Structure 1
Amino acid sequence: MAISTPTISVADVCLATKAAAGPLAALGSDVKDRALLAIADALVARTPEILAANALDLEAGRANEIGDALLDRLALDPQRIAGIADGARAIAALPDPVGETIDGHRLPNGVDVRRVRVPFGVVAVVYEARPNVTIDAAALALKSGNAIVLRGSSSAIHSNRVLAEIAGEAATAAGVPAGAISLVAGGGREELAELATQDGVVDLIFPRGGEGLKNALKAVATVPVIYAASGNCHLYVDASADLEMAAAILLNGKTQRPGVCNALETLLVHADAAPEFLPRAAQLLHGAGVELRGDERARALAGPGVPFGAATEEDWATEYLALTIAVKVVDSREEAISHIGQYGSGHSEAIVTRSTESARAFQLNVDAACVYVNVSTRFTDGGEFGMGAEIGNSTQKLHARGPIGVRELTTFKYLIEGTGQVRG
């Protein structure tokens, strides 16, 4: 496996990965699946080695005061490593998308036209303090026949290095071309810029991180980019909502894992439901350690004994990634949808309602990758959607939207067959 060092440039790593892309694209499903299962077994077998590397990153993270949310993203334990391995096994069990016929037809002149899935070739994944992405991305790329360049953050450098080595060694031993899984060490912005300008070598970049990473790539990238970006996710409690259900979805969405992109950041409550719902919701959230920031009506209805700060314009647009939530009372379903349209990031939005009309209006008018009715936004995840894992969640409207799995890592080509037809 190629890893960038002071003597191996990013360009050289990318060229080595490209050399592996052609042979990898031609591999059969059996070889790819065997490699994925070998990766999963190697992760479990080498868990102590992974934990030792991760401990170095956690120690550095605490020293640098990166915060609890990032430390949670960074941390690995035997259970999480086993989960990552299970994700690789789940990807191995998926149908191989390569060669799948998407559609086809016969022209009046007898020429057959088929559109089939093919790998991109070389994909790069740029991600922040999530070492699990090293394996998730490598496994998805391998299944979809793509060679991959991984570029994690410096905060997870030890974890990423050992995980990439394990994946690369296991895959190569199973018959995957050497260099198909490569790691760029995780240096500064110059390294990122070099990766993002590998025209003709890297076919597509998937960044997985916050707005800072997104903006850094936008400033320099000449390679096509599909952004798996921030999640400013909302829960709207409609006038007809089952309030028991709403409370459970709210608590799960905000507190189950607050440092992830599908966690709730804003609660919108219809004015008819607010007098009954908000006092209970405020108590539940406060009891779970959540800081509340709300508009004037929300704060007035919350009741005594719960600290409730005043929300600013900035709060409505903030992805906290922490135990903080913004709360607003709205007078209508349309006002809630308008608020989401103004401040949402296009990731995941949810409504709790008993009204079929409200549910349908929310589904039709909320512009997001994932729109939920009476379900927690925490389900926006490739694993939960049956994809085994994901590279990230796209908030764009290109061919990949929402969780990016194996099918989203393919493009297509037209295959045209005839019996000597020529155009007149």
Structure 2
Amino acid sequence: MTEISQKMLTLGQKAKEASKVLAHASAKEKNQALHAMADALIDQQDKIIAANIKDQEIARDNGLEEHMIERLTLNEDRVGGMADGIRQIAAFSDPVAKTDDEWVIENGLRISKRRVPLGVIGIIYESRPNVTADASALCLKSGNATILRGGKEALNSNLAIEKALKDGLTKSDIPSEAVQVIPDSDRKYSNELMRMNEYLDCLIPRGSHGLIQAVVQNANVPVIQTGDGNDHLYIEKSADLDMAKNILINAKTQRPSTCNTIETLVIDEEFAGLHLAEILQPLKDLKVELRGDKKAQTLDSDIQAATEEDWSEEYLALILAVKVVSSYEEAVEHINTYTTNHSEAIVTSNYKVAQDFMNDIDASSVYVNASTRFTDGEVFGFGGEIGISTQKLHARGPMGVDALTSYKYTIQGNGQIRE
């Protein structure tokens, strides 16, 4: 056994033991632990921010792009937000042992469907160190231990956050091993994590398309696939001009480095013929680079020619692809061809078109007359998220505490036997 394998085995064993305690912890015990974790983040915020500044300096020295450094950056407001998110999670009702359904069959057996923790959850993620706090809190609230492997660019930040969370747990009845961060950025640790099916009940990748596919293709642990966000905004011909303009600006520029930011504008040619230049001008003012098809280029000479790759690219930057379509059907076909099943939106004043769009588009979150930037566990009221699932099995969309549980059936009788 290699040194890395031995270290990962130890992490797995500790997590499994912690998960047994968590499975039987009361709601009060878990909530006390969560509040202690939140308090510790605030108490140690100076150390966390100092570690984060070190990560930023290393990232710049290594040539990491500024929009990725923005995702990495922590300050007092963001650390405070992490603590507030944990407290919000503590305020939720306990999902464990909740009865989803109960019924009595003909022979008198009482069957109940009850929520149970998954057990030990592994999470592999990139850049955003707030995930360390969000994921730890969501897993703990749902009765799960967690092993976290963050990206090398945030290693110092993640270890500082882990120390705070563990210090908080020492003041509770929950073992500190309920939260463990892999203290090394070597990819061999990720490879070991993907094969720990004796200890992990679930593995969740969160980050780039390359990361997610590497986990999906190589893990022998059950994977919940979170998706990159090649999101679209479709401006239909009946759209209100001011609404369309405001949503477009927000969905593209409010925070371009996030997976719920649009990467392609799909626009009806009748609307585009009248308003394309007007709605694109604010984006140009904000230095958004535009790439489009021939129709779009004809209507605006500032638009560069789009390649086939542009329709499927998650830019995470101030770049927007523009596709002009001649019909609703063409818009839906384009979106469903290139979507990553994350978040899609339409601006329309036609009720039937709005209803059709919600039915026709295959994505975890479908918006009518609103920005895609709202696809977020905290915004949805989940207190944070473990990721945004783009698959259809078990969980879909922003994953809160309920998505981190499974269920079992309990059957109570009074001596029944099957004949």
Calculate the TM-score normalised by the size of structure 1: 0.96
Query: What is residue 84 of structure 2 aligned with on the other side?
Result: 86
Contact 1:149–1:182 at 8 Å: present in 2 too? yes
Query: What is residue 214 of structure 1 aligned with on the other side?
Result: 212
Query: What is residue 44 of structure 2 aligned with on the other side?
Result: 46
Change in CA separation of 1:233 and 1:7 when aligned onto 2, cut-off 3 Å:
closer
Rounded Cα–Cα distance in structure 1 between residues aligned with 2:133 and 2:220: 26
Rounded Cα–Cα distance in structure 2 between residues aligned with 1:105 and 1:268: 49
Rounded Cα–Cα distance in structure 2 between residues aligned with 1:418 and 1:221: 41
Rounded Cα–Cα distance in structure 1 between residues aligned with 2:212 and 2:124: 10
Matches within 5 A, 1:25-64: 25-64=23-62
Rounded Cα–Cα distance in structure 2 between residues aligned with 1:208 and 1:69: 17
AA aligned to 2:316 is: L
2:242 alignment partner, SS class: helix
1:158 has 2:156 as partner: yes
Aligned-residue offset at 1:167: 0.8
Change in CA separation of 1:225 and 1:364 when aligned onto 2, cut-off 3 Å:
same
Contact 2:155–2:185 at 8 Å: present in 1 too? no
Of residues 108, 124, 127, the one that matches 2:125 is: 127
AA aligned to 1:95 is: S
1:384 alignment partner, SS class: coil
1:46-91, Cα deviation, whole Å (9 max, x unpaired): 1110011001100000011110121011000001111111100110
Rounded Cα–Cα distance in structure 1 between residues aligned with 2:363 and 2:67: 24
Contact 2:5–2:192 at 8 Å: present in 1 too? no
Query: What is residue 389 of structure 1 aligned with on the other side?
Result: 384
Rounded Cα–Cα distance in structure 2 between residues aligned with 1:199 and 1:310: 47
Aligned-residue offset at 1:215: 2.1
Aligned-residue offset at 1:419: 0.6
Contact 2:4–2:189 at 8 Å: present in 1 too? no
1:366-394, Cα deviation, whole Å (9 max, x unpaired): 00000000010000000000000001101
Query: What is residue 373 of structure 2 aligned with on the other side?
Result: 378
Contact 2:227–2:341 at 8 Å: present in 1 too? no
Contact 1:207–1:213 at 8 Å: present in 2 too? yes
Matches within 5 A, 1:60-71: 60-71=58-69
Rounded Cα–Cα distance in structure 1 between residues aligned with 2:28 and 2:113: 23
Query: What is residue 100 of structure 2 aligned with on the other side?
Result: 102
Rounded Cα–Cα distance in structure 2 between residues aligned with 1:54 and 1:27: 33
Query: What is residue 263 of structure 2 aligned with on the other side?
Result: 265
Rounded Cα–Cα distance in structure 2 between residues aligned with 1:185 and 1:388: 27
Rounded Cα–Cα distance in structure 2 between residues aligned with 1:14 and 1:289: 47
Aligned-residue offset at 1:172: 2.9
Contact 2:99–2:112 at 8 Å: present in 1 too? yes
1:282-308, Cα deviation, whole Å (9 max, x unpaired): 211111111000111112213x6xx32
Rounded Cα–Cα distance in structure 2 between residues aligned with 1:370 and 1:210: 19
Query: What is residue 311 of structure 1 aligned with on the other side?
Result: 306
Contact 1:153–1:186 at 8 Å: present in 2 too? no
AA aligned to 1:46 is: Q
Aligned-residue offset at 1:213: 0.6
Contact 1:152–1:186 at 8 Å: present in 2 too? no
Rounded Cα–Cα distance in structure 2 between residues aligned with 1:130 and 1:348: 20
Aligned-residue offset at 1:148: 0.5
Aligned-residue offset at 1:417: 0.4
Report sequence identity in percent: 47
Of residues 281, 287, 290, the one that matches 2:288 is: 290
2:176 alignment partner, SS class: coil
1:329 has 2:324 as partner: yes
Of residues 175, 178, 186, the one that matches 1:177 is: 175
Q: List, as ranges, runs of 4+ consecutive aligned residues in structure 1 with deviation greater than 6 Å.
A: none
AA aligned to 1:368 is: A
1:240 has 2:235 as partner: no
2:296 alignment partner, SS class: helix
Rounded Cα–Cα distance in structure 1 between residues aligned with 2:376 and 2:213: 24
Of residues 22, 36, 53, the one that matches 1:24 is: 22
Q: Any stretches of 5+ residues in structure 2 without a counterpart?
A: none
Query: What is residue 226 of structure 2 aligned with on the other side?
Result: 228
Contact 1:152–1:185 at 8 Å: present in 2 too? no
Rounded Cα–Cα distance in structure 1 between residues aligned with 2:197 and 2:290: 46
Of residues 249, 252, 255, the one that matches 1:254 is: 252
Aligned-CA RMSD value: 1.2
Contact 1:154–1:185 at 8 Å: present in 2 too? no
Q: Any stretches of 5+ residues in structure 1 without a counterpart?
A: none
Contact 1:123–1:204 at 8 Å: present in 2 too? yes
Of residues 356, 359, 362, the one that matches 2:351 is: 356
Change in CA separation of 1:360 and 1:330 when aligned onto 2, cut-off 3 Å:
same
Rounded Cα–Cα distance in structure 1 between residues aligned with 2:12 and 2:170: 17
Rounded Cα–Cα distance in structure 2 between residues aligned with 1:169 and 1:175: 12
How many aligned positions are there?
417
